[in-house]
Structure 1
């Protein structure tokens, strides 16, 4: 039973951020999630951390950005996830995740999420040359089999970066919405 004046517990969203040029705009996803009454914590790949304004993100979320494993006995800095959004997701992360490789905290969280039944959405951000690689197509198929929802971003030209204007951060929330307990 909830106490009469106790604040309602908001669902908690992990946002996993990978190393790519648009990662610095992840605040857009955080703001969209918060507008939908989510609490948010960010987990960055080790290389992704360098693309982020950590002070701004920590101020926006109220939580530290995680990128490394905790030491034994260290307190958990984030509550358990009710859902996970991987945005932006690189070629490397998509392929390692689908293969079950857990060599970073971010990948460990993603690999474990499947077994825990945590709803997960991924917004890949890569170029057409990477997307043409057969391993990437197999990885997307594997993630779909794992019931991961995959965003609709169309890859950009190699060496062009870009496409940030076409990257719909909110799509992660739209993909997760129907999978959340109501």
Structure 2
């Protein structure tokens, strides 16, 4: 069974992560869940259940130097819902958070990685966002943004059809077979 690192930044779709884990497991993945510090705070009461569901500790902080890793090595990484801050920090190499540090290192380790942003139409007007998306794509990351991926909504608005998690899981499965 292949290992999927599922990384969730703090955007409202992160509240659906238990269902996403179950869907990924049904597709054959061994899932390890990592969260940004804010997402971990948002899901605080659910963390024990998420650890039970995955069979692995939920991580949101770097381990201490010399400590053994509590997760198996990743065969693939999915970063979603990727916030404006996370996308830009990753593209710029600003690895102050565990999640961004692992995905940044994942580029160098050539771990197949899919990212699906969750940003509103106001944020994407900032000139850095498009540069960051192009930087990540140029580094080999599959960024599901635009037609066929996540399309920005208006500030404060959620799409009636919800966040397209299925597209993200499909994209990961198209790159790496979960049963490899």
| Same-fold status (TM-score > 0.5) | yes
Paired positions, count: 172
- Alpha-carbon distance between aligned partners in 1 of 2:65 and 2:162, rounded to the nearest angstrom: 42
Q: How does 1:1-182 map to 2 (within 5 A)?
A: 10-52=1-43, 53-151=46-144, 152-160=149-157, 162-163=158-159, 165-180=161-176
Question: The residue matched to 2:165 in structure 1 has which SS?
Answer: coil
Question: The residue matched to 1:128 in structure 2 has which SS?
Answer: coil
Report the Cα offset of residue 140 of structure 1: 0.6
Question: Whose radius of gyration is greater, 1 or 2?
Answer: 1
Contact 1:21 1:51 survives alignment (8 Å): no
- Alpha-carbon distance between aligned partners in 1 of 2:159 and 2:71, rounded to the nearest angstrom: 31
Report the Cα offset of residue 26 of structure 1: 1.1
- Alpha-carbon distance between aligned partners in 1 of 2:20 and 2:168, rounded to the nearest angstrom: 8
Report the Cα offset of residue 164 of structure 1: 6.7
Coordinate RMSD, CA, aligned: 1.5
Report the Cα offset of residue 172 of structure 1: 1.7
- Alpha-carbon distance between aligned partners in 2 of 1:164 and 1:61, rounded to the nearest angstrom: 28
TM-score (norm 1): 0.89
- Stretches (4+) displaced over 3 A: none
